[in-house]
Copies of this chain bind each other. A is one copy, B any other.
Amino acid sequence: MLDDIDRKLLGILSANARISLKELAAEAGLSSPSTAERLRKLDERGVITGYTVDVDPRMLGYTLQAIVRVRPLPGQLHIIERMIQEMPHCVECDKVTGDDCFVARILVRNMEELDGLLDGIAERAQTSTSLVKSTSVKRRLPALLP
């Protein structure tokens, strides 16, 4: 699927996606054109889905982070999903198996704001909220299998 060089490229990019092609090529032990071609193919194959910037939420004024499990009341699932998607405070949400249909990551400025958000869906869903105290594992790539 991926060869050693592809894995190396992904590893380097995951640490710094804005590295120049030249440096990337040098670190991977390849020429720039070959490196560019490999990136193009990883993109084309859908292995690489994008390049993004990581931002410190606190520096944007978001001092509180919460993981909220959402259990929509009967008949409310689709409305709730749409409400979550349109909530700019939600930065990540998965639909999962089990009683809790959704697990969402929410950023807020303070408790009042969190309270307000949860109140906004309280009529249509039950929620269980855990506040994030610290991050044990910062988002990273999984092991790149051979």
Q: Is A132 an interface residue (CB 8 A)?
A: yes
Contact flags (1/0) for A109-143 with B, using CB distance below 8 Å? 10000000000000000001011111111111111
Copies in the complex: 2
- A contact residues, range: 35 or more
Contact A14 B52 (CB under 8 A): yes
With A136-B102, A142-B88 known to touch, is A96 a contact of B131 (CB < 8 Å)?
yes
In chain B, what residue has the closest Cβ to A97?
Answer: B131
Contacts of A140 in B (CB 8 A): 91-92
Contact flags (1/0) for A2-45 with B, using CB distance below 8 Å? 10000000100111111000000000000000000000000001
Contact B136 A81 (CB under 8 A): yes
